[in-house]
A and B are shown apart, each in its own frame.
Chain A
Amino acid sequence: MAAPILRRGFPGGRWALVWIHGGCRHRNGAPTGPTLGSTRGRSSVAQQSLQTAQKPRKGEHKWETVVGLEVHAQISSNSKLFSGSKVCFAAPPNSLVSFFDASLPGTLPVLNRRCVEAAVMTGLALNCRINKKSLFDRKHYFYADLPAGYQITQQRLPIAAQGSLKYSICTGQRRSQMVTKTVRIKQIQLEQDSGKSLHDDLRCQTLVDLNRAGVGLLEVVLEPDLCCGEEAATVVRELQLILQALGASQANMAEGQLRVDANISVHHPGEPLGVRTEVKNLNSIRFLAKAIDYEIQRQISELENGGEILNETRSFDHKLGCTVPMRDKEGEQDYRFMPEPNLPPLVLYDTSCLPAGADPQQVINIDRIRDSLPELPSVTRDRLVGEYGMLPEHSFVLLNEVGLLEFFQNVMKETRAEPKKVTNWVLNTFLGYLKQQNLAVSESPVTPSALAELLNLLDRKVISSSAAKQVFGELCKAEGKTATQIVSEQRLELMQDREELERLCHATMDEHPQVVMDMKGGNPRAINKLIGLVRRASLSRADPTVIKEILERKLSP
């Protein structure tokens, strides 16, 4: 759940003091908020002492780690969850704000059908139980970019629950083994996004942009089934692919359409779970993995050095590569959840219980959504493996790189080259080039058609594979030339004229009698040298297999 981060009005130094006296912060922190030190706060302290009472047992036991994720995905929709305001990234500040979004008194929420459908799709794709009746709740906290003073969410009865998500990670020494694992989905809930606060420390002011306030979010809560940064990163990537395949969310982390909070704790095997910390607002998969791994290490070394873990919220400083405590939640925050009285229960139907004569605009049929679900990433990968005979790990790479699958499929459409060859070229030559240049697939100078043309030339043996690499390099310069043009301009075609090839072989043999002698003397490697010499003489345009054949014939007794 999106928890508030209250940062303003308290310089870091003052807060740091509170951390030093962390033991009594629950009592100290209370007066400014309505939430007095709650039982939960105390019980977590008790847990801490249980943890720290044990003497550090360095190396005595291995540590087990428990990682849980809460993923917020912005729903891809024309309008907001409860208002008609447009949803658009990077619009001028406060240009997409309805009266409801600004919480003008007397305004009421009206649920956006599209957001409900996106939630149902996601629930189905994640094997969830779709609740035919779900409820909305208010979650209260004061923050400048939350104009109503509460967020409408689904705390008690979410739209979907009890699902699972399969993901595969590479293991083994050479990371060549794929292992499939499952993480359980606790629930999926619909909720409002908050606005954005921009803190201008210099002028001591906060600027509020409400464009994002009220945008529909899917909060996907995962059970703490993960154990490391890599697993978390893989799961989030898989979820991202699913959301994108469904069109439920663009799930672009850089634009904040996918944000992750991670809960992390460590404990000794067979002992109770440790105190957990929450690392909030992780907005890149790489940082997610780094933050989790850092936090695990930090907790272990803290405990091994006799320290204790506080139940706190931390953020990841990607410049320093470490997590740092956030100043938030005056003591234990109590969100004072309450049913949202302005929204009746959200009721969904399936074909069996569809009310007769119901206005199709007013009902959502789960079965119809299920029937129209697009192909999900796992199915796509299976299809790639089955259809093109590619290795499973290759299918993962194709899907994981944004746009690469589409690129691959477009190349396949225009080439008669072997799928394996195309896969190789796309994954090694093409992707390798992009990585080296730090480009996205969409930024590639080489179009699928251009690559297809090149692969066709190769397939028809017009050029050698080394010439093909050369042509690819030329294509990357993006000078507007086609592969065929490059081949003819640079005279890269394989020599098709047999007589000329024979002449070339002959001349080469004459020039290098010593090598010929070696070969005749039984040195098997000599023929390769000779082939190389002929190719060089042909300016790499000769097909080595043909050369070999000619040479062998010429040298045979």
Chain B
Amino acid sequence: MTSRGLDQQSQGQVRSFGVPVSARPTVSLPVSAPCRWGGCAAPANRVPGSLPRSEIRPIETLGVEALADGPRWLRPCNAGADVDLSAHQSPGPGVDRLNTSIMLGRTLREVSAALKHGQITPTELCQKCLSLIKKTKFLNAYITVSEEVALKQAEESEKRYKQGQSLGDLDGIPVAVKDNFSTSGIETTCASNMLKGYIPPYNATVVQKLLDQGALLMGKTNLDEFAMGSGSTDGVFGAVKNPWSYSKQHREKRPLKPCGDGDGDEDSSWLIAGGSSGGSAAAVAALTCFAALGSDTGGSTRNPAAHCGLVGFKPSYGLVSRHGLIPLVNSMDVPGILTRCVDDTAIVLGILAGHDPKDSTTVQDPVKPFVLPNLTDVSKLCIGIPKEYLVPELSGEVRSLWSQAADLFESQGAKVIEVSLPHTLYSIVCYHVLCTSEVASNMARFDGLQYGHRSAISVSTEAMYAATRREGFNDVVRGRILSGNFFLLKENYENYFIKAQKVRRLIVNDFLNVFNSGVDVLLTPTTLSEAVPYAEFIKEDNRTRSAQDDIFTQAVNMAGLPAVSIPVALSKQGLPVGLQLIGRAFCDQQLLTIAKWFEKQVQFPIIQLQEFMDDYSSVLDNQKLTSVSLQQ
């Protein structure tokens, strides 16, 4: 590829990812042109232009034979879909009302319809979810389960349904909230000793909006301490386990360990959920709720969504209120949404979005709930593939899926072009300076005086401050505070903070240039690879991990753009892989509309946890996990 400008008019920039469809203008790129990002030797990859026509048809039209030779990323999803799609069919009048466990695997929209039709009551649904939360307690997805609150809310919701006064799509729907959103009367810890026992007196705006719609708050989900991490492994309540570790899909495909390692090995082979909203992702993935709030500062919603096979959405900065979200980096934080499908995300976003007088950074324009249209024609779309996102660390499988996704768009008529975001390279280091600086500032309020942990050391106020903060924060938080304060020192401010702000501006401009050149959305990987085992993950420290894992997601936060991770397929190991779509600022609906189309094409399978859950206790006995108090 030449490194010409991003001018869309320049046909030479337009990359071909597949056989040109006759209906659209012929792409003039020489077929022999080396393809930097896609031209690698991954098995499933191919020379541009060599893709058989049949592969690009929507998945539901594919026969089994076609699948056998089809791209690897299509196969497992269809296999899964075969089993579970039955549950996706709209429940007819003859649906067994008692078989509520089937309900749990459904989407928010489906279960909402079931509630409206009286096929299940909010209380039944709530109890079912609570029971599953208990059964999956070993996942460590929840820090606090607000059982009483949820049951009371369910009761009220049930009354409303009986009186025909449902509040809307979310009435009676179990949801979970990351434990860095303030919840009135419910402990909010940020997975930190500092806030253990802290019970906020108010609800975050997004929490209040969910409750106002009748949603049932099942509990507060686990995270990395103060959302600083990418694995949900660094919280004071322990790591979150990825539900896919226990899925049929993964168990059948994971590499076999040598015999004799026994149960101990079984225990340590579990995978991380991603982070920092890993608890929220695990909660939705394990079917214990239908939507969850995460927060996203550098990818904290999209990363665990990708690892847990969910839709993870980061709205445009300013679209959704941050009031009540305990901040990590105020200028990049946004509440994120984790659901099992794009339509569900749209429902939740429709409720959360809009101006909040309590958050001056929210946009003034009114936002109404919306329904995503079914996109049938993508031929007017222009999909950008940022060449800088092809990094050596990217796993072959993800790269291959990325490539095929681009082909999919192109084969359906979209224009797919390679674009350049030249300052991506500096994003992580720039983020490090800005993030730690804001962290140093935001964490200054935790001094043990007003709320939260206070050290017993009381020689002097200063000594009390120091001891409180040493005891209250983990090494990751303290490390970031230390770096941040260093960058903010008078003598360093110009060299670090100001420079980082300038780089941030360049990164923002990169995106602006690309979008101004006519690109509608960018297609990128979400993560470098599928979820890795915990034992492997913790070999690197938090800082290294965060820097690596945020690589595709974090520049988006710098620019305040909307982005969504869509699960596209299962890897060789039967683990979810997500791809990311990045949209123009405040074009969140357009982004989700495209994501919905994409989601429909890839038909990602539902996690096969149910059959295995039916026999949960025995599985757990085998794993010697009975210490996890399921009886509770």
- Once the chains bind, are B323 and A107 in contact (CB under 8 Å)? yes
Interface flags, B476-495, vs A, CB<8A=1, else 0? 00000000010011110100
- Once the chains bind, are A103 and B450 in contact (CB under 8 Å)? yes
Interface status of B474 (Cβ within 8 A of chain A): no
Report the bound CA distance from A128 to B414 in whole Å. Answer: 57
Interface flags, A249-262, vs B, CB<8A=1, else 0? 00000000000000
> What is the total number of residues of chain B having a CB less than 8 Å from a CB of chain A?
51
Report the bound CA distance from A142 to B468 in whole Å. Answer: 13
- Once the chains bind, are A337 and B326 in contact (CB under 8 Å)? no
Closest residue on chain A to residue B493 by CB atoms: A337
Report the bound CA distance from A9 to B201 in whole Å. Answer: 32
Interface status of A344 (Cβ within 8 A of chain B): yes
- Once the chains bind, are A9 and B459 in contact (CB under 8 Å)? yes
Contact of A108 with B490 at beta-carbon distance under 8 Å, contacts A8-B461, A338-B438 already known:
no
Interface status of B562 (Cβ within 8 A of chain A): no
Interface status of B265 (Cβ within 8 A of chain A): no
The tally of CB-CB contacts under 8 A between chains A and B is: 120
- Once the chains bind, are B463 and A38 in contact (CB under 8 Å)? no
Interface status of B70 (Cβ within 8 A of chain A): no
Q: How far in angstroms is the closest Cβ of chain A from B461?
A: 5
Looking at the complex, which of B440-448, B530-538, B609-617, B619-627 is the stretch in contact with chain A? B440-448
Q: Which residues of A contact B451 (CB under 8 A)?
A: 102, 104
Q: Which residues of B contact A362 (CB under 8 A)?
A: 364
Report the bound CA distance from A39 to B489 in whole Å. Answer: 11
Interface flags, A370-394, vs B, CB<8A=1, else 0? 0000000000000000000000000
- Once the chains bind, are A106 and B327 in contact (CB under 8 Å)? yes
- Once the chains bind, are B330 and A342 in contact (CB under 8 Å)? yes
Q: Which residues of B contact A344 (CB under 8 A)?
A: 360-361
Report the bound CA distance from A108 to B447 in whole Å. Answer: 18
Q: Which residues of A contact B444 (CB under 8 A)?
A: 140, 142, 148-150
- Once the chains bind, are B441 and A9 in contact (CB under 8 Å)? no
Which residues between 161 and 215 of chain B lie within 8 Å of chain A, taking CB atoms? 181-182, 188, 190, 195, 198, 200-202, 204
Of the candidates B360, B437, B460, B466, the one whose C-beta lies within 8 Å of that of A338 is B437
Q: How far in angstroms is the closest Cβ of chain A from B402?
A: 33
Interface status of B88 (Cβ within 8 A of chain A): no
Contact of A208 with B449 at beta-carbon distance under 8 Å, contacts A110-B360, A338-B488 already known:
yes
Q: Is the interface of A mostly helix, strand, loop or mixed?
A: loop
- Once the chains bind, are B465 and A142 in contact (CB under 8 Å)? yes
- Once the chains bind, are A140 and B462 in contact (CB under 8 Å)? no
- Once the chains bind, are B445 and A142 in contact (CB under 8 Å)? no
Of the candidates A106, A140, A338, A342, the one whose C-beta lies within 8 Å of that of B324 is A106
Interface status of A59 (Cβ within 8 A of chain B): no
Report the bound CA distance from A8 to B462 in whole Å. Answer: 9
Of the candidates B323, B358, B460, the one whose C-beta lies within 8 Å of that of A9 is B460
Q: Which residues of B contact A108 (CB under 8 A)?
A: 322-323, 358-361
Interface status of B313 (Cβ within 8 A of chain A): no
Q: How far in angstroms is the closest Cβ of chain A from B470?
A: 14
Interface status of B497 (Cβ within 8 A of chain A): yes
Report the bound CA distance from A38 to B490 in whole Å. Answer: 8
Q: Which residues of B contact A38 (CB under 8 A)?
A: 489-491
Closest residue on chain A to residue B356 by CB atoms: A108
Q: Which residues of B contact A366 (CB under 8 A)?
A: none
Q: Which residues of B contact A140 (CB under 8 A)?
A: 441, 444, 488
- Once the chains bind, are B360 and A106 in contact (CB under 8 Å)? no
Report the bound CA distance from A362 to B365 in whole Å. Answer: 13
Q: Which residues of A contact B447 (CB under 8 A)?
A: 142, 147, 149
Interface flags, A341-352, vs B, CB<8A=1, else 0? 111100000000
Which residues between 25 and 40 of chain A lie within 8 Å of chain B, taking CB atoms? 32, 34-35, 38-40
Contact of A334 with B360 at beta-carbon distance under 8 Å, contacts A9-B463, A105-B195, A148-B444 already known:
no
Interface status of B582 (Cβ within 8 A of chain A): no
Interface status of B351 (Cβ within 8 A of chain A): no
27 contacts between A and B (CB under 8 A): A6-B462, A8-B460, A9-B459, A9-B460, A9-B461, A38-B489, A38-B490, A40-B490, A103-B445, A103-B450, A104-B200, A104-B201, A105-B200, A106-B323, A108-B359, A142-B447, A147-B445, A149-B441, A149-B444, A206-B461, A336-B489, A337-B490, A338-B488, A341-B330, A342-B361, A344-B361, A362-B364
Interface residues of A (CB under 8 A from B): 6, 8-10, 32, 34-35, 38-40, 99, 102-111, 138, 140, 142, 144, 147-150, 206, 208, 334, 336-338, 341-344, 362
Known: A108-B358, A144-B449. 11 other contacts (CB 8 A): A9-B463, A34-B489, A108-B360, A110-B360, A142-B444, A147-B445, A149-B445, A336-B440, A336-B493, A343-B361, A362-B364
